[in-house]
Amino acid sequence: MKFIKYLLLLTILNCTAQKTTDGTVEIRLNQLGYAVGKTKVISVNSNTVISNLKYNIKDKKGTVIKSGVIKNSQFWKDANEHVGIISFSEINKEGEYVIAINDKEKNFRVSSSIYEKATKDVFKYYYYNRSSTEITKEFGGKWARPAAILDTKVKVHASAATKERPEGTIISATKGWYDAGDYNKYVVNSGISTYTLLSAYENYSNYYKSKKFNIPESNNNLPDILDEVIWNLDWMLAMQDPNDGGVYHKLTGLNFSGVIVPKEYNFDRYVIKKSTGAALNFAAVTAIAARIFREFKVEKPNYSTKLIEASKKAYAWAKKNPKEYYLNPKGVKTGQYEDPNILGEFQWAATELFITTKESAYKKEIAIESISNEVPWWQDTSALALYSIVNFEKELAKELNVSLAKKKLLKKAAELKKNIEQSPMRIAMRTPDYLWGSNGVAGNQLMYLVKAYEVSKDASFLDATFTGMDYLLGRNGLGVSFITGVGENTSKNPHHRISQADKIKQAIPGMVVGGPQPGQQDKCKYPSKMPAKSYSDTWCSYASNEVTINWNAPMVYVMNALHYYQTK
Q: How far apart are CA 543 and CA 547, in angstroms?
A: 10
Quote the Cα angle for 371-374-379, to 5°.
Answer: 85
Distance of CA 230 to the CA centre of its chain: 19
**Helix ranges, 174-300 (H):** 187-203, 205-209, 224-238, 276-293
Half-sphere exposure of 137 toward its Cβ, with a 13 Å CA cutoff?
1
Q: How far apart are CA 216 and CA 227, in angstroms?
A: 9
CA-nearest of 470, 480, 446, 442 to 86 is 470
Active site annotation includes 339 = no
**Host H or E run for residue 70:** strand 64-72
78, 151, 224, 537: which one is catalytic? 537
Cα–Cα distances in Å, from 543 out to 327, 495, 522, 531? Answer: 21, 9, 6, 13
Quote the Cα angle for 389-391-395, to 5°.
Answer: 75
Active site annotation includes 463 = no
> Do 310 and 287 meet the contact criterion of CB atoms below 8 Å apart?
no
82, 157, 495, 496: which one is catalytic? 495
Spatial neighbors of 245 by CB under 8 A, at least 6 apart, are 279, 310, 313, 314, 316, 317
81, 182, 324, 454: which one is catalytic? 182
Q: How far apart are CA 29 and CA 108, in angstroms?
A: 8
CA-nearest of 213, 205, 289, 41 to 564 is 205
Active site annotation includes 495 = yes
Active site annotation includes 182 = yes
Query: 380: which strand partners?
Result: 377
380, 463, 546, 563: which one is catalytic? 546
Q: How far apart are CA 337 and CA 176, in angstroms?
A: 17
CA-nearest of 277, 287, 237 to 388 is 287
For the annotated catalytic residues, the residue numbers are 182, 495, 537, 546
